[in-house]
Amino acid sequence: MPVVAPIAPRGFFVTGTDTGVGKTRVACALLRALVRSGVRAVGMKPVAAGAVHDAEGLLNEDVVELNAASTFVVPRALVNPYCFEPAIAPHIAAARAGVNIELARIVTAFDALARQADMVVVEGAGGFCIPLGDAFDSADLAKRLDLPVILVVGLRLGCLNHALLTAQAIRARGLRLAGWIANRIDPAMEAVDENVIALADRLGAPLLAEWPNAPAGALELTLEWLDGA
């Protein structure tokens, strides 16, 4: 079964309807599915806020998870060019640290990863339009990397509006919404099926997976959709 389209993208940009909606889980599940299929795939978290100090510097938990799901371990400076200690909005964390986040540096790191791997799975910070500097945001980063976007919809009250606005923003940048994941982060949410149907009718992109509320190991992605990605 061919799992990579003849002209496969260099990777995917995983965004979400919000912070904490399952982007890391989806990015890792995608990486594991690619790796299982023999694709050399690595994860990248260009900008992370919320980290602890270790011997090498600052370490964010998403970076640990993405590295563990990748085909090979990559130097932290490439996987995560910008890391800040406080778990606050990245451009504010950067300003507090006296750091200017530069798109060029992220693109250079991405290109280095893309030379070593067949695919790079990039996890955005927060939601799609999160500011990264005075004059640019995460959507500008996705555009510079020119990757198809996967949208993780955290199923909770309010997600319809967030999902539809995010899809609009993705397309407004001229990017392709490759698909979306319905992720049941709130086990108490009512009318889940109706919400998923409402989005399936309106998002205009394939529903790649419907994930129940479950431990990380139980949630997987299959790659049939990748043929057309």
Ligand X SMILES: Nc1ncnc2c1ncn2[C@@H]1O[C@H](COP(=O)(O)OP(=O)(O)OP(=O)(O)O)[C@@H](O)[C@H]1O
Q: Interface residues with ligand X (CB under 6 A)?
A: 16, 19-25, 62, 126, 183-185, 211, 213-214, 216, 219
* Min separation Cβ 6 and ligand X, Å: 31
Provide the 3-class DSSP secondary structure of residue 154: strand
Is residue 142 within 8 A of residue 173, CB to CB? The reply is yes
Nearer of residues 115 and 190 to ligand X, judged by Cβ: 190
Q: How far is 136 from 100, CA to CA, in rounded Å?
A: 11
H or E element that contains 181? strand 177-183
Q: Over the Cα atoms of the chain, what is R_g? A: 17
Nearer of residues 24 and 71 to ligand X, judged by Cβ: 24
* Min separation Cβ 183 and Mg ion, Å: 12
Work out the angle between the directed axes of helices 138-145 and 159-172 (0-180°, nearest 10).
50
Work out the angle between the directed axes of helices 159-172 and 192-202 (0-180°, nearest 10).
20
Q: Closest-CB residue for Mg ion?
A: 24
Nearer of residues 1 and 218 to ligand X, judged by Cβ: 218
* Min separation Cβ 216 and ligand X, Å: 6
126 binding partner (options Mg ion, ligand X, none; Cβ < 5 to 8 Å by kind): ligand X
Q: Which two tokens stand for residue 109?
A: 């790191």
Q: Annotated catalytic, 23?
A: no
Q: Which of 24, 67, 70, 166 binds Mg ion (CB under 5 A)?
A: 24
* Min separation Cβ 123 and Mg ion, Å: 6
Nearer of residues 24 and 71 to Mg ion, judged by Cβ: 24
Choices 4-12, 36-44, 58-66, 69-77; region in contact with Mg ion by CB under 5 A: 58-66
Q: How far is 78 from 117, CA to CA, in rounded Å?
A: 13
Q: Which two tokens stand for residue 149?
A: 């976007």
- Identified catalytic residue from 10, 25, 45, 143: 45
Q: Which of 44, 47, 62, 182 binds Mg ion (CB under 5 A)?
A: 62
H or E element that contains 14? strand 11-16
216 binding partner (options ligand X, Mg ion, none; Cβ < 5 to 8 Å by kind): ligand X
Number of H helices and E strands in the chain, helices first, is 8, 10
Nearer of residues 8 and 213 to ligand X, judged by Cβ: 213
Q: Which of 10, 23, 162, 184 binds Mg ion (CB under 5 A)?
A: 23
22 binding partner (options Mg ion, ligand X, none; Cβ < 5 to 8 Å by kind): ligand X
Is residue 186 within 8 A of residue 18, CB to CB? The reply is no
Burial group, residue 9, by CB count within 10 angstroms (0-12, 13-18, 19+): middle
Which residues are the active-site residues? 45
Residues found near Mg ion in the complex (CB under 5 A): 23-24, 62
